[in-house]
Amino acid sequence: MAERLAEELSGMEGNLDEEEHREATFYRLEALGFRVGQGLAERFSRDRPRFTDNLDVIKFLCKDFWTILFRKQIDNLKTNHRGVYVLTDNTFRPLIRMSMSNRNEAIAKAQSYLWFPCGIIRGGLASMGINATVQAESSDLPSATFQIKTVQMAQPSPQPQQQLQQPRS
């Protein structure tokens, strides 16, 4: 899918240099994944009771949501209890059949296959009320690690109301 999208974008944007082209492709893959994640999370979490906190949402993502997507649960979940979660899938299905003669080349190629799942995770979290950033890496194929950082929405500071002064007569 990533390669097909890259070819499609190359036909549209002939004047972009290679790095801009890659960034545009990754952005589009992540955005598509976001939409898919939103829809899936809404569909598969609607019959469940409301989640009480962010950790419950992440657990749902690791167990139920991941099983729907990849037919297995996340292998490892770590958190610092301050809004950072690290999900590890030791046999990430999209990377299972990937191999190259050069290990570094394979890992670089694998990165493009992680943008869509990043979007799915971010979209799923967004539909359940968690604003987050998601980063992924694969240092050893077919393993994939996703880092989720929840973003606290800034509360607008209360503005003091200006008192209207009555004109003196």
The residue ranges of every structural domain in the chain are 2-150
Fold exhibited by the domain 2-150: Muramoyl-pentapeptide Carboxypeptidase; domain 2 (3.30.1380)
Record the tokens describing residue 159, joined without a space.
């503005």
Question: In this structure, are residues 2 and 118 in contact, taking their beta carbons and an 8 Å threshold?
Answer: no
pLDDT tens digits for the chain (169 residues)?
Answer: 556 655 565 555 455 588 898 899 999 999 999 999 999 999 998 888 888 999 999 999 999 999 999 999 999 999 999 999 999 999 999 999 887 778 888 888 888 899 999 999 999 999 999 999 999 999 888 999 999 999 976 555 455 444 445 555 4
Q: How many CA atoms lie within 13 A of 4 on its CB side?
A: 1
Question: In this structure, are residues 24 and 9 in contact, taking their beta carbons and an 8 Å threshold?
Answer: yes
Record the tokens describing residue 154, joined without a space.
């800034």
DSSP type of residue 53 = S
CA–centroid distance for 13 within its chain? 25
Which residues have C-beta within 8 Å of that of residue 111, sequence separation ≥ 6? 136, 137, 138
Nearest to 125 by CA among 148, 156, 93: 148
Which residues have C-beta within 8 Å of that of residue 88, sequence separation ≥ 6? 74, 75, 76, 77, 78, 143, 144, 145, 146
Residue that is written with structure tokens 């976001």 in the block: 34
Q: What is the pTM of this model?
A: 0.80
Helix, strand, coil percentages in the chain from 3-state DSSP, rounded to 5: 50, 15, 40
Question: In this structure, are residues 145 and 138 in contact, taking their beta carbons and an 8 Å threshold?
Answer: yes
